[in-house]
Amino acid sequence: MRKYFGTDGVRGRVGEFPMTPDFAMKLGWAAGQVLGAEGVREVLIGKDTRASGYMLESALEAGFSAAGVNVALVGPLPTPGVAYLTSTFRADAGVVISASHNPFDDNGIKIFGQGGQKLNDIQEQEIERWLQVAIDGGMTCVSSEKLGKARRIDDAAGRYTEYCKANLPGHLSLNGLKIVVDSANGAGYRVGPAVFRELGAELISIHDKPNGLNINENCGATSMQSLCDAVLAHQADMGIALDGDADRLMMVDHTGAVVDGDELLYLLAKDAKRAGYTGGVVGTQMSNLGLEQALNGLNIPFKRAKVGDRYVLEQLNATGWRLGGEGSGHLLSLDHASTGDAIIASLRVLTSLLEQQATLYDAKQGMHKLPQTLINVRYTAQAGHDPLDTPAVLQAVALVEQQLGQTGRVLLRKSGTEPLIRVMVEAVDADRAKSSAQQIADAFS
């Protein structure tokens, strides 16, 4: 079991443990001990636009240096950009300082290994072992001649921009398309608009003026209303929303309707099959049943992983498949990027639309999302007692599943951060989903 690493690195409120400069320095040192033993000599560090990124960047730099590991600083850059540059700069590892879609007063630290892949559980557990050594007062420092050095890479954003642009085939252009891009005042605020503008689109850029405090604030992939309004106001062909670190993608069609990660994954899978892809698709426990049904209709195999893009990637690696993602907008297309990349995913969608001469609205029609209700039920933790195993709950679940048959789905899962049971029900209509979810939630009382 990992104590500090969650599904997406170490995360928390800035100024409170573990998001303190002292902890970040010790985490850098611990990571340096583990990665250094694996041959790592340089780590590339990027960040999003949170004000706290400067503090945590300096602390991590000190920790890596004390462990004898060099550091290359790239400044604000999307998480997938750091993963890409970690590979192309031949850095041995990468670090992203970001809390993704969270508010500005949270932050997080994610670590990539060689090739831009996220660390595996064993590596993270070993880092935590060394981290505990540091927390207990055992942090050391290499001799002065072996200290890690730091350098700054000034053209990182330009290099990543060119890499993204290369994902639109050369025979295609965005000329004639009016696109609104919402950068969430985050890490993609420069790269995102530049990519679409340089590929020929008539671009309207919104939420592209980060001040360290406004990242994800009523904007981006987790707050879509302003993008929907902008698409309608400008009579645009579509809208593209990034989240704070630009690894999530949500889109808006010309009618102002949101197109979420499940629908985008369906579009990518349908296009891949048309191009000869014979593999399947990995979603999560939370993927809409409508996605599974639509893929079944195309004879595309579908598997569900635990919630979290790292688990989607694990399942992809296990099956040898190339496509996966989450309804929240984490989309993996391993033929084009080693991690979730909102800009590249949007270019894959655009490629499909251009080649099919279809609108986003038309392309999504093959999938029908089922209404979904989610209820959070708080419980009191008791030793030896699992609220999911109580007879009343088991009976309620069995009854609802019998009533829904093949037309719906039930999912119960514990929150990883607080004593909550998440009760999710999908059904053919919203009223049935709501009443069924409430029927199960009542069984916990």
* Token output for 312: 């989607």
Phi, psi of 317 (to 5 degrees): -65, -35
One of 52, 98, 100, 436 is an active-site residue; which one?
100
* Token output for 294: 């639509």
d(CA 110, CA 97): 7
For this structure, is 100 an active site residue? yes
- 386 marked as binding residue: no
- Say what the alpha-carbon torsion angle 360, 182, 258, 101 is, to the nearest 10 degrees: 130
58-91 residues labelled b (16+ CB within 10 A) or e (exposed): ebbbbbbbbbbbbbbbbbbbbbbbbbbbbbebeb
Report whether 165 contacts 194 (CB < 8 A). Answer: no
**Which residues have C-beta within 8 Å of that of residue 139, sequence separation ≥ 6?**
26, 29, 66, 133
**Which residues have C-beta within 8 Å of that of residue 271, sequence separation ≥ 6?**
348, 351, 352, 355, 356
- 144 marked as binding residue: no
- 100 marked as binding residue: yes
Classify residue 361 by burial, with Cβ atoms within 10 Å: 0-12, 13-18, 19+.
middle
DSSP-assigned letters across all residues of 153-209:
-TTHHHHHHHHHHTTS-TT---TT-EEEEE-TTSTTTTHHHHHHHHTT-EEEEES--
Q: How many residues does the chain have?
A: 445
Q: How far is CA 311 from CA 50, 126, 279, 308, 317, in A?
A: 27, 19, 18, 6, 10
Segment (H or E) for 108: strand 106-112
Classify residue 16 by burial, with Cβ atoms within 10 Å: 0-12, 13-18, 19+.
exposed
According to DSSP, the residues that pair with 280 across neighbouring strands are: none
Report whether 240 contacts 274 (CB < 8 A). Answer: no
d(CA 333, CA 110): 20
d(CA 230, CA 215): 18
Annotated binding site: 100, 243, 245, 247
Please identify every residue annotated as catalytic: 100
Annotated binding site for Mg(2+): 100, 243, 245, 247
